[in-house]
Amino acid sequence: MMMQRLRRSEEFIRFGCESLINLRPNKNSVPRSVSGFVTHYDTKGKLFESNVGNHYNTHRCLGRNLGMLQQYKCFGSSSASQIERKPLFSSLDSKDVSSFKEILGDKNVVEDEERLETANTDWMKKYKGSSKLMLLPKNTEEVSQILQYCDSRRLAVVPQGGNTGLVGGSVPVFDEVIINVGLMNKVLAFDEVSGVLVCEAGCILENLATFLDTKGFIMPLDLGAKGSCHIGGNVSTNAGGLRLIRYGSLHGTVLAVTANGNVLDMLGTLRKDNTGYDLKHLFIGSEGSLGIVTKVSILTQPKLSSVNLAFIACKDYLSCQKILVEAKKNLGEILSAFEFLDNNSMDLVLNHLDGVRNPVSSTENFYILIETTGSDETNDREKLEAFLLKSLEKGLVSDGVIAQDINQASSFWRIREGITEALQKAGAVYKYDLSLPVEEIYNIVNDLRRRLGELANVMGYGHLGDGNLHLNISAADYNDKLIGLIEPYVYEWTSKHRGSISAEHGLGVMKANEIFYSKSPETVAIMASIKKLLDPKGILNPYKVLPHSLFSH
């Protein structure tokens, strides 16, 4: 949400001041923010440049002080350190640049170093490429022309939107040309009867939400990055978010895409269309490896006026599961969000964020956020109260509060959404996004706690309603021993329970080689065939999504 972006900029100002004042090198301190969740705002090139190679390296400021090699080493398992640039790809030359300028015009061919610095680095400051060129097409034809040229020249490309992904999928690994769709940000059509919105891929999610708000509609997805992420990127990564439990995934709500591996125009606004294989599903979630989404047509929902939010506490995970079942039964059609967090997460937030307090007066082991959205205020409120009181009587809920106005609701959400920020402030963090059967979700947290003991603080929180756990391990600093204990243990554990090693974040470059933990070799082989069919030269977002071993000739 916008709030998160503003919070991050506050963060930046505070850290920024520290770094300017505290110029003494401190050899023992590892930069706390190498974890990655430092602000989206850049370190302004110069500060970073001067840090490389000199004693400011161990400076406690805005991350990325360590050289790239060391950064990968901190993360240990990152396969990025083992990737080699494919020799088959051509290198950019001046003739290419002038050809692009002919297609796009001079202004939209970016070679400026500062802008490339930002475009080359991912939101978490964890991955950095070395691209020398960024292209800004204005429409589908330009995208098509660029891609045809790159294909003929065998130039690797990276499609880029808001660059808010968490698995390094939106930035170059080496010198791939960045194709950023940010200029394609027009809303093309909106039908107020059917609720179908047609827009270009570069529209920022929050802007779309604001536009729809004036018409009395809402987007079917909502996530923390909405102030910066593009709808094209959301579609390409099949983004999940807080509303998935109510409105389903983008596979259900996106009606069509225009994708430009080789100019596929499937843009339609029909709710039902059973003519042949539904290819749009290939592109939704393909993370830019099969084609670049240029336009999206999406089904939006009418905005409902009555929103209620409850924050409840439970003694154990079994109660959480029972409450989920009961909530779906009793709140059924009005349930719009079901999130959980454990006590460690709550403690972290209370310790590291300002102005938050535990809404519930007692400390418990688990906390749940239940949100309902409906059209009848009194009715919904009564339903929610009745459900919660019954749960209280049955002993499933030990305590809870219901938000009385939007301010209180925001403060409840702040706790759940502030965990990411608090993790960043607490030191080093290892992040995992897993889908597991609901009854297993907390077992992995407990197992990992036993395994790591005093070494780290293990936290579990996430979209319980969707069976999606955000597993986070927080430690004072990064070390290889810790990472060795965590990986591949977490992946193997997930695989054993037939879970997904990436519920909503995608594979990107971070987990490209781990896909076998969640998909069989036969399935992956077919994926590779489809990739070779749609992108024979492999120029679209290489080194990502699928294992590198499948493509080395």
Partner 1 sequence: MKILVAVKRVVDYAVKIRVKPDKTGVDTQNVKMSMNPFCEIALEEALRIKEAGFAKEVVAVSIGPSQCVDTLRTGLAMGADRGIHVETNSSFLPLTIAKILKSLAEFENPGLIFLGKQAIDDDCNQTGQMVAALLGWPQATFASKVVLDKDKHVATVDREVDGGLETLCVDLPAVITTDLRLNQPRYASLPNIMKAKSKPIKKMTVQDLKVDVKSDIEILQVTEPPQRKSGVMVSSVDELIDKLRNEAHVV
What's the min distance (Å) between Cβ of 485 and partner 1? 40
Choice between 414 and 544, CB closer to partner 1 = 414
User: Of residues 94, 407, 549, 552, which one binds partner 1 by CB under 8 A?
Assistant: 407
What's the min distance (Å) between Cβ of 72 and partner 1? 44
Q: Does 305 interact with partner 1 (rule: CB under 8 A)?
A: yes
What's the min distance (Å) between Cβ of 367 and partner 1? 13
Whole-angstrom distance, CA of residue 69 vs CA of residue 57: 13
Choice between 410 and 443, CB closer to partner 1 = 410
Choice between 405 and 522, CB closer to partner 1 = 405
Which of the stretches 317-325, 394-402, 494-502, 536-544 binds partner 1 when contact is defined by CB under 8 A? 394-402
Whole-angstrom distance, CA of residue 361 vs CA of residue 312: 11
Q: Does 218 interact with partner 1 (rule: CB under 8 A)?
A: no
If we measure between CA atoms, which residue out of 137, 139, 179 comes closest to residue 155? Answer: 179
Which of the stretches 74-82, 133-141, 401-409, 508-516 binds partner 1 when contact is defined by CB under 8 A? 401-409
Choice between 296 and 334, CB closer to partner 1 = 334
Choice between 81 and 210, CB closer to partner 1 = 210
CB environment 224-242: b (16+ within 10 A), e (fewer): bbbbbbbbbbbbbbbbbbb
Whole-angstrom distance, CA of residue 238 vs CA of residue 221: 10
CB atoms within 10 A of CB 382: 11
Choice between 188 and 389, CB closer to partner 1 = 389
CA 472 to chain centre: 15
Half-sphere exposure of 442 (CA within 13 A, CB side): 16
Whole-angstrom distance, CA of residue 479 vs CA of residue 204: 37
Q: Does 1 interact with partner 1 (rule: CB under 8 A)?
A: no
Half-sphere exposure of 482 (CA within 13 A, CB side): 22
Q: Are strands 157-160 and 177-180 parallel, antiparallel or unpaired?
A: parallel
Choice between 57 and 306, CB closer to partner 1 = 306
What's the min distance (Å) between Cβ of 215 and partner 1? 13
Q: Does 396 interact with partner 1 (rule: CB under 8 A)?
A: no
The 3-class secondary structure across 76-135, one letter per residue, is CCCHHHHCCCCCCCCCCCHHHHHHHHHHHCHHHEECCHHHHHHHHECCCCCCECCCCCEE
Stretch (H or E) spanning 401: strand 399-402
Q: What 3-state DSSP class applies to 302?
A: strand
If we measure between CA atoms, which residue out of 459, 492, 441, 538 comes closest to residue 77? Answer: 492
Stretch (H or E) spanning 258: strand 254-259
Q: Does 401 interact with partner 1 (rule: CB under 8 A)?
A: yes
What is the per-residue binding string for partner 1 in 351-390, x denoting contact by CB under 8 A? Answer: ------x-xxx---------------xx--x---x--xx-
Binding-site size, partner 1 (CB under 8 A): 28
Q: Which of residues 464-523 bind partner 1 (CB under 8 A)?
A: none
What's the min distance (Å) between Cβ of 451 and partner 1? 36
Which of the stretches 235-243, 302-310, 326-334, 483-491 binds partner 1 when contact is defined by CB under 8 A? 302-310
What's the min distance (Å) between Cβ of 247 and partner 1? 21
Q: Does 309 interact with partner 1 (rule: CB under 8 A)?
A: no
Q: What 3-state DSSP class applies to 408?
A: helix
Stretch (H or E) spanning 148: helix 140-153
What's the min distance (Å) between Cβ of 384 and partner 1? 10
User: Of residues 13, 189, 325, 406, which one binds partner 1 by CB under 8 A?
Assistant: 406
- Please report, as a single letter, which amino acid is at residue 510: M
Choice between 298 and 388, CB closer to partner 1 = 388
What is the per-residue binding string for partner 1 in 314-353, x denoting contact by CB under 8 A? Answer: ----------------------------------------
What's the min distance (Å) between Cβ of 380 and partner 1? 12
Rounded (10°) angle between helices 317-330 and 441-452: 160
- In the numeric block, the tokens 């394609």 are attached to 184
What's the min distance (Å) between Cβ of 457 and partner 1? 27
Choice between 58 and 410, CB closer to partner 1 = 410
User: Of residues 410, 443, 479, 500, which one binds partner 1 by CB under 8 A?
Assistant: 410
What's the min distance (Å) between Cβ of 83 and partner 1? 47
Integer CA distances (angstroms), 481 to 73, 456, 471, 487, in order: 12, 11, 18, 10
- The residues of the shown chain that bind partner 1, judged by CB under 8 A, are 305-307, 311-312, 357, 359-361, 377-378, 381, 385, 388-389, 392, 397, 399-408, 410
